[in-house]
């Protein structure tokens, strides 16, 4: 469960990132955050694992305060939270399996992980994670030899090897073509359902949001202006969120 309690974020230059956010995301939900560029989607996501510090209020993940956590407590909380980025964030010159194993670093000493000594259970866990995203056979290939969609699957496998209970994905398909986009979204959805992993995804394609989300949250200028089911997120609702009608390039198309 992720709780936002009267959360605001003002950047040092005075820009408002988030304004009085109050919402609770239950375990197992797949929440898609939508809004125009600059609406606060990344700020929202990054404040959940405290990549961004909030200015007011409190965020709790599974009952534990992220906002008030000490350095060691935050490392512990972050172990449960997998993060997926638009740019994949892989170690490109390393093998796929090494990248997935890096999801285990929070469980071992720095020396051990620097030397790359991972127990056999970790290797098995990582191979199983690759199996779940259908690229088990790529385990010993260098990450930079894979297509964009495959690289994003490696980053999903890394979150699985981490045994994350929450996955945060910041525009995970923004650099992918439409077909690969659907494959990656299918993976995220399947993992969310099969493993009951709470998933929060920033997306800018409206039709994808409707197709994959169990709940859609719309942000405008840092405020929640929509919170409802995909059925409730009509074109009119999106026009409200955006403050203007929906445009063609906000649809991926070809469902
Ligand atoms: N480090 C920063 N310093 C100052 N202002 C920032 C910083 N990061 C973000 N902002 C501002 O905060 C607001 C929200 O930004 P945020 O990146 O969360 O929006 P977004 O919805 O994710 O947009 P995009 O889709 O373009 O990534 C914007 O006005 C942005 O310019």
pLDDT at position 243:
86
Does ligand 1 come within 6 angstroms of the Cβ of 38?
yes
171 falls within a domain: yes
Q: Residue 106 belongs to a domain with what CATH number?
A: 3.40.50.300
Residue closest via CA to ligand 1's atom 14 equals 40
Share of the chain above pLDDT 90, in %: 83
Task: Specify the DSSP class assigned to residue 137.
Answer: G
pLDDT at position 255:
47
Residues across the chain: 255
Under 8 Å between Cβ of 41 and 219: yes
Residue closest via CA to ligand 1's atom 28 equals 38
Residue closest via CA to ligand 1's atom 30 equals 38
Span 10-54, pLDDT tens digits = 999 999 999 999 999 999 999 999 999 999 999 999 999 999 999
Does ligand 1 come within 6 angstroms of the Cβ of 218?
no
Domain count, the chain: 1
143 falls within a domain: yes
pLDDT at position 254:
53
93 falls within a domain: yes
Distance (Å, rounded) from C-alpha 172 to C-alpha 26? 21
Q: Which domain holds residue 156?
A: 80-202
Does ligand 1 come within 6 angstroms of the Cβ of 13?
yes
Probe residue for ligand 1, chosen from 10, 33, 40 as the CB with the greatest number of ligand atoms within 8 Å: 40
Span 214-246, pLDDT tens digits = 999 999 999 999 999 999 999 999 998 988 888
Helix (H, G, I), strand (E, B) or coil at 42: helix
Handedness of CA 86, 92, 98, 102 (dihedral sign): negative
Distances, alpha carbon 97 to alpha carbons 100, 125, 166, in Å: 5, 10, 22
Probe residue for ligand 1, chosen from 16, 19, 43, 200 as the CB with the greatest number of ligand atoms within 8 Å: 43
56 falls within a domain: no
Span 115-127, pLDDT tens digits = 777 889 999 999 9
24 falls within a domain: no
Distance (Å, rounded) from C-alpha 8 to C-alpha 43? 10
Helix (H, G, I), strand (E, B) or coil at 224: strand
Span 77-104, pLDDT tens digits = 999 999 999 999 999 999 999 999 999 8
ipTM: 0.96
243 falls within a domain: no
Span 192-202, pLDDT tens digits = 999 999 999 99
214 falls within a domain: no
pLDDT at position 252:
79
Probe residue for ligand 1, chosen from 15, 174, 219 as the CB with the greatest number of ligand atoms within 8 Å: 15
124 falls within a domain: yes
Q: In the chain, what is the straight-line distance between the N-terminal and C-terminal CA atoms, in Å? A: 31
């Amino acid at each position: 469960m992720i709780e936002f309690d009267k959360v605001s974020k003002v950047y040092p230059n005075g820009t408002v990132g988030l304004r009085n956010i109050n919402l609770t995301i239950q375990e197992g939900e797949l929440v898609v955050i939508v809004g125009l560029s600059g609406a606060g989607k990344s700020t929202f996501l990054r404040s959940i694992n405290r990549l961004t510090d909030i200015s007011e209020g409190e965020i709790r993940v599974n009952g534990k305060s992220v906002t008030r956590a000490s350095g060691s407590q935050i490392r512990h909380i972050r172990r449960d939270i997998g993060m997926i980025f638009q740019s994949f964030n892989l170690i490109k010159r390393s093998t796929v399996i090494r990248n997935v194993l890096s999801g285990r670093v929070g469980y071992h000493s720095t020396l051990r992980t620097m030397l790359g000594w991972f127990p056999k259970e970790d290797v098995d866990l990582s191979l199983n994670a690759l199996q779940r995203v259908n690229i088990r056979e790529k385990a010993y290939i260098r990450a930079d030899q894979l297509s964009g969609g495959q690289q994003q699957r490696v980053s999903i496998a890394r979150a699985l090897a981490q045994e994350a209970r929450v996955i945060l994905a910041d525009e995970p398909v923004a650099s992918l073509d439409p077909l690969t986009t659907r494959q990656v979204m299918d993976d995220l959805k399947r993992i969310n359902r099969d493993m009951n992993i709470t998933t929060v995804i920033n997306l800018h394609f409206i039709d994808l949001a409707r197709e994959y989300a169990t709940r859609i949250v719309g942000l405008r200028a840092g405020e929640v202006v929509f919170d409802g089911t995909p059925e409730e997120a009509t074109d009119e609702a999106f026009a409200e969120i955006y403050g203007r009608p929906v445009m063609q390039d906000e649809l991926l198309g070809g469902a």
